[in-house]
Structure 1
Amino acid sequence: MKPSYVYDVIGVGLGPFNLGMAALLDPVEDVSALFFEKEDEFNWHPGMLIEGTTLQVPFFADLVSMVDVRSEYSFLHYLQEHQRLYHFYFLEKFHIPRKEYNAYCRWVSSRLSSCRFGYTVTRVNVVEKDSRSIYEVGVIHGQTGVEDVYYAENVVLGIGTQPYIPAAFQESLGDTVFHTSEYLEKNVRPDQSVAVLGSGQSSAEVFLDLARSHQDSEGSLQWYTRSNGFFPMEYSKLGLEYFSPDYIDFFYELPQEEKDALLKDQGLLYKGISAETIADIYDHLYEQTIGGASPDIHLQAMTELTSIQWEHGRWLLNGVHRVNGDTIEAEADVVVLGTGYQPAVPAFLQTIQDKILWDEQGRFQIEKTYELKTDMKTAGDLFVQNGELHSHGVGAPDLGLGAHRNAVIINKMAGRDVYPVQVDNVFQTFGTARQPEHSSMKK
């Protein structure tokens, strides 16, 4: 089939970041866009929409507001359309319920004609048209199974990350051993013995939900982490400045070995537990031990569980204490893995994989404006969303920087400042501050 209409951009995947791009592009008449998502509808981490959980960023970190507060796709406009402005006003909270963030995104996705759900992208090739190279995107409709072909000058990868499962647990995955991302889908019973692994926000939320549901049952609950403790995420106001365009500018210019070393020391900027969740867990444990009560709950840090096997109708877990070297054994009916996420290289890139430039650790090489480095001479670029932690820093997965990244990408594609990108957003200096010239050195 010969190329027909050529879009300015095709987006693959419709998580919050590509959905935000679709929303920001909607009023831009001179940039044509189309976005594909394999799921039949928008749902943001449905397995973790636990009652009472909130976003870890303020509501300003919606799809558009950090670059365009006047957008009709802002969270405040969503509230206005649903007659919830006064309800939200009286709520007096910056951190909105996770369920409402999902509802807001679903509302936005339903209003955008550029968003196509139920379509799986199977391949991305480079073809020639009018003496220039463009992208050819193969897409299969989930209901009909028919493949269509679309063309674009630019492609934006918004496929995000995928759950990380340690090798020791991969063969045991199923209804009773699963990642936190599937938690609500598995329907854990209150009478079951459950072991939770990991010390991030997801593990903490699952542990708290289980602790509450188990409090009047005969079930037991264990929580293990390799980390040195169940520590809070850094959430001081100056600490939050690391999630800014200014820090991206500083981090991007560092040598890669220095970037990797920095990221190893910055885990609590984005991997810890919110102080509020820790307080809720502690309060629950305190109340459950009033009057000498002793709930069957066990928390243990500095412990790595390295093997799992099915014995006598239960899971037997073995590991080691990482400080004193003691052997650890535990039993559970259910094991919940809060083992985080990892970057995903989608299968549909296989056709051009040898043309993409990779670093020494097999990661994308990425320009500052988020396009992949390749040896393809195409009319446009191949951009990535939330795949640049190693190149742009800790803000890559942060919702608060999604609109900023989209503005940078949109401006690059359009060749003009569609959305002005603000500078000087923080009070601190990440690099070396320019020192005032000393009067004695002036000529």
Structure 2
Amino acid sequence: MEYEDYLRWCAGHFEREGKVAYGMQVEDVAAGERNQDGQVLNWEVTARTQNGELIKRRAKHVVIAVGGRPVIPQNLQGLKHVAHSSQFASSIKQIQQREKGRQPRFVVLGNGQSAAEIYNDLTERFPESEVRLVIKGASLRPSDDSPFVNEVFDPDRVDGIYEQEASARAAALALDKGTNYGVVRLNLLEHLYDQLYLQRLQNPDPSTWRCQIMNNRVVRKAEPGTGSSILLKFGRTTATPNSPESEVEEIIETDYVFAATGYQRNAHEEMLGSVKDFLHAEDNKFKIARDYRIVMKEGGIEGGAGVWLQGCNEGTHGLSDTLLSILAVRSGELVESMFGDAASSSSTAAFQARMSKL
């Protein structure tokens, strides 16, 4: 909450200055004005308001920090009462109102912290409802938050990660994913295990269990069921092409599905479609400098103009790139990259001015 208060305080500053606009969707970042040599001096950012009006702004420095876009498996898209885990907090109270006096059935997809928290919340919020957590793997796994491993999130680790060869960096990232992806905090795992253990003691027949964790399963097909329900058809991830399991399909009818199936962090690729000719791409991916600036082709951009990315550079800057641990330090690095010594001098002067008033 303290960090949220800090961020709200920062946002409030820009709101009072009239320098922030909410409720807009950026549709394009294109080259703006050019100098006599044809070099781009600034960027033209086109955004659409909630009323459909297009507004264009020009800026020498553009920072894209739009976060991840929720991913829902393709075979679940378009079905009623299917939502991403990011929508859980905003939709669950509406579901409670709608289902008052009833016992709706729920399925949660995913094997990470969000999936486990939603599953646990639903078992407590709807004490008479059937709640199933469906995971691809054999079991839920604990997150590694030991102190030595947690150092991968330290800001001073970014240099070492960035300087590695791409193959070595990818291997290191894969090794460290147990800190943040597809894992659950140990205390929650123990709570869920105790819950299922007590349920098993009270009734040994699995077909009667209200709460279940279904492992080694993947959704093969989904379609509308009776009324507003959803029919999910599951296959076994352990099945081989010639094994009996490959022919088995489990069908579950449920009322709501929450997909804790991750995010894509590629919105910047669409926004920058108009300036691809200026970009220095590697294997169809943007090349990102250590200071988070997109590397442009030489000669096409005037020296000070540029585009910087935040929160989508995990592949080059490490797992911390999407997390709060790097936010403050990275922000300073971006400002330094844009304004150099002028930024440092300005910050020092502003700090001294504030101190003189104390």
Do these two structures clear the TM 0.5 threshold for a shared fold by scoring above it? yes
- Measure, in 1, the Cα distance between the counterparts of 2:5 and 2:199: 34
- Measure, in 1, the Cα distance between the counterparts of 2:222 and 2:52: 39
Amino acid at match of 1:158: A
**Residue 275 of structure 2 corresponds to residue 352 of structure 1:** yes
CA drift of 1:130 comes to: 5.5
Partner of 1:318: 233
- Residue in structure 2 matching 1:207, options 119, 133, 137: 119
Contact kept? 2:69, 2:267, Cα under 8 Å: no
**Residue 220 of structure 2 corresponds to residue 297 of structure 1:** no
SS at match of 2:230: strand
Amino acid at match of 2:291: T
In structure 2, stretches of 5+ residues that fail to align are: 346-358
**Residue 240 of structure 2 corresponds to residue 330 of structure 1:** no
**Residue 187 of structure 2 corresponds to residue 262 of structure 1:** no
Indicate how the Cα distance of structure 1 residues 166 and 299 shifts in structure 2: closer, same or farther if over 3 A, else same: same
Partner of 1:367: 289
- Residue in structure 1 matching 2:152, options 242, 254, 261: 242
Deviation per CA, 1:269-295, whole angstroms, max 9, x where unpaired?
211212233234335445666755964
**Residue 310 of structure 2 corresponds to residue 409 of structure 1:** no
Partner of 1:182: 87
- Measure, in 2, the Cα distance between the counterparts of 1:141 and 1:224: 38
Indicate how the Cα distance of structure 1 residues 387 and 320 shifts in structure 2: closer, same or farther if over 3 A, else same: same
How many pairs are equivalent? 317
The percentage of counterpart residues that share the same residue type is: 22
Amino acid at match of 2:91: K
Query: Where in structure 2 are the equivalents of 1:10-409 lying within 5 Å?
Result: 75=2, 102=4, 105-112=7-14, 113=17, 114-128=19-33, 131=36, 133-140=40-47, 142=49, 145-170=52-77, 173-187=78-92, 188=95, 189=99, 191-215=103-127, 217=128, 219-271=129-181, 272-285=183-196, 291-292=202-203, 295-313=209-227, 314-323=229-238, 325=240, 326=245, 327-331=248-252, 332-346=254-268, 347-360=270-283, 362-375=284-297, 376-378=300-302, 379-409=304-334
CA drift of 1:337 comes to: 0.7
Contact kept? 2:79, 2:223, Cα under 8 Å: no
Contact kept? 2:63, 2:308, Cα under 8 Å: yes
CA drift of 1:419 comes to: 6.5
Amino acid at match of 1:357: H
Indicate how the Cα distance of structure 1 residues 140 and 167 shifts in structure 2: closer, same or farther if over 3 A, else same: closer
- Measure, in 2, the Cα distance between the counterparts of 1:405 and 1:102: 18
Amino acid at match of 1:394: L
CA drift of 1:181 comes to: 1.1
Indicate how the Cα distance of structure 1 residues 324 and 348 shifts in structure 2: closer, same or farther if over 3 A, else same: closer
Contact kept? 1:138, 1:147, Cα under 8 Å: no
Indicate how the Cα distance of structure 1 residues 285 and 351 shifts in structure 2: closer, same or farther if over 3 A, else same: same
Indicate how the Cα distance of structure 1 residues 140 and 253 shifts in structure 2: closer, same or farther if over 3 A, else same: closer
Indicate how the Cα distance of structure 1 residues 328 and 234 shifts in structure 2: closer, same or farther if over 3 A, else same: farther
Contact kept? 1:168, 1:306, Cα under 8 Å: yes
Q: CA RMSD in A?
A: 2.8
Contact kept? 1:136, 1:149, Cα under 8 Å: no
SS at match of 1:115: coil
Using the size of structure 1 for normalisation, the TM-score is 0.64
Indicate how the Cα distance of structure 1 residues 280 and 418 shifts in structure 2: closer, same or farther if over 3 A, else same: farther
CA drift of 1:126 comes to: 1.9
Amino acid at match of 1:396: D
CA drift of 1:103 comes to: 5.6
Indicate how the Cα distance of structure 1 residues 224 and 148 shifts in structure 2: closer, same or farther if over 3 A, else same: closer
CA drift of 1:207 comes to: 0.5
- Measure, in 2, the Cα distance between the counterparts of 1:193 and 1:392: 41
- Measure, in 1, the Cα distance between the counterparts of 2:71 and 2:50: 30
Amino acid at match of 2:312: G
Indicate how the Cα distance of structure 1 residues 305 and 266 shifts in structure 2: closer, same or farther if over 3 A, else same: farther
- Measure, in 2, the Cα distance between the counterparts of 1:257 and 1:367: 17
SS at match of 2:148: helix
CA drift of 1:383 comes to: 0.4
Indicate how the Cα distance of structure 1 residues 169 and 110 shifts in structure 2: closer, same or farther if over 3 A, else same: same
After TM superposition, the structure 1 stretch with the greater mean CA deviation from structure 2, 152-161 or 182-191, is 182-191
Contact kept? 1:407, 1:418, Cα under 8 Å: no
